[in-house]
Amino acid sequence: MTLTATPTPGATLLTPADHALILIDFQSQMSFATQSIDATNLRNNAALISRAAKGFGVPTILTTVAEKSFSGPMYEEITSAFPGQALIDRTSMNTWEDAKVIQQVNAIGKRRLVFAGLWTSVCIVGPTLSALDQGFEVYVIADACGDVSAEAHGRAMDRMVQAGVRPMTALQYMLELQRDWARTETYELTTGIAKQYGGAYGLGITYAKTMFGAHEG
């Protein structure tokens, strides 16, 4: 049987309209013990995905644990991307067991959910496996998560992937939302975020534009 290729995207690729982003426990106390990723890289990646989600209009849930009594405020890199948005504070380590969070999930009404936060082995494993059990498609932005050791993060990612979670990275998330440089309405948004938070890729964009007037697409 001969297959016929067509110029259409794969069904598992994300679009801005088909998912919600859930950002969990990006807080000071959780960060102090995080060893699997450098704090600067973690904050940078959290900023990148937050600004991408905001710019592309992805519905986003921001949730903390024991914000006032123990864990401290959510990263400013995230809250500044969503000015005025209320944070849902919890007592449960598993976000999926919090009724207020689930109320928001149901109000948004997306069957695809993308997660990022601290720590991978607790506060990300819990809701992702719970969401999978209830029929949701689940993605995790691996380099916008962290844990108390590289081993803890790695085994948590293994466990989630084995259960059916789809892993990705922060830059991949943003570029998957853009996906075609002919989409001029979000071109400046995407390259602007990349220049600020995209590391060496962002430097490359700045260099090419400055030296040669280069333009993707």
Q: Where are the beta strands (DSSP E) in the chain?
A: 19-24, 60-65, 88-90, 112-118, 137-146, 166-168
List for the chain the helix, strand, coil content (%; round to 5): 50, 15, 30
Q: Are 177 and 54 in contact (CB under 8 A)?
A: no
Is residue 145 annotated as part of the catalytic site, yes or no? no
Structure tokens at 189: 């948004």
Q: Which of 123, 124, 145, 168 is catalytic?
A: 123
* DSSP letters spanning 6-44: -S---TTS--TTSEEEEEE--BHHHHHT--SS-HHHHHH
Mind telling me the catalytic residues? 123
